[in-house]
Amino acid sequence: MLRLGRREFDTHEPVIMAIVNRTPDSFYDQGATFRDEPALARVEQAVAEGAAIIDIGGVKAGPGEEVTAEEEARRTVGFVAEVRRRFPDVVISVDTWRAEVGAAVCEAGADLLNDAWGGVDPGLAEVAARYGVGLVCTHAGGAEPRTRPHRVAYDDVMADILRVTVGLAERALALGVPRESILIDPGHDFGKNTRHSLEATRRLGEMVETGWPVLVSLSNKDFVGETLDKPVKERVVGTLATTAVSAWLGAQVYRVHEVAETRQVLDMVASIAGHRAPAVARRGLA
């Protein structure tokens, strides 16, 4: 059982986490949800299309203009409070690696801290424990926040992913983060080249076998673009194919831009796997 905020999710229940970037320079939407009203409209649409989690980020992952902790908090804290007021049952996640920002968004009503940079600030897990919220434990290959990988190498990329993510999860548990609210993430593209991310996908079942719920953040990433030689705006099909494979291998949470399309993919895979009944079953019965 995965428990986040007011929500509980069964083991085989796929969960969509919709991305809402409060940044003027995000790689995918180029700041479309930087202002409050477009961002709130995005939340409303995502919830209507089937997202259970809203992931709010105040700093883009890639290199760019410096964003201080104070500015990151300014972009996220008030917005978290407003989303909490308008959508009391939605799970609110905040994508941050900073403990001070984590504490501020938890005070505002966040349910989950999405630590995409692999515990670079050990205090973030302590914040999650203090507030009793969830934590995403990600493999980033030891990379510093907002840096790109350069000639990174692993003897065995999945072995390293397991060592880091399970280690972070066990530390979080020891600190007091609720076990049912801890997830692990292989960190596609983070501290990895395209071949590493493909192998991480291919071997995702090894993460599932640890017993920790697995989150994947695949949406329109560079490993999809390089694999198919497609620019950012033409990676949806490749993303959905990777989503289907990840679902078949047992991942549970999917951080995405395209909510409606992802919902259909996850529902189809769940039905093939026997975890979900068809929405309609009339064929051959008339």
Question: Which residue blocks in 95-154 are alpha helix, DSSP H?
Answer: 99-108, 123-131
Which of 98, 171, 221, 235 is the catalytic position? 221
60 classed as catalytic: no
Residues 6+ apart with CB under 8 A from 52: 7, 9, 15, 16, 17, 90, 91
221 classed as catalytic: yes
Length of the chain in terms of residues written: 286
HSE, CB side, 13 Å, CA atoms: give it for residue 134: 27
By DSSP bridging, strand 2-4 and strand 7-9 are antiparallel
Residues 6+ apart with CB under 8 A from 45: 259
Backbone angles phi, psi at 255, to 5 degrees: -90, 115
Q: Cα(198)–Cα(200) distance, rounded to whole angstroms?
A: 5
Burial (CB < 10 A; 0-12, 13-18, 19+), residue 274, is exposed
Residue with tokens 């530390």: 171
Q: Cα(222)–Cα(231) distance, rounded to whole angstroms?
A: 9
Residue 214 is classified by DSSP as B
DSSP letters for 247-267: HHHT--EEEES-HHHHHHHHH
- Catalytic site positions: 221, 255
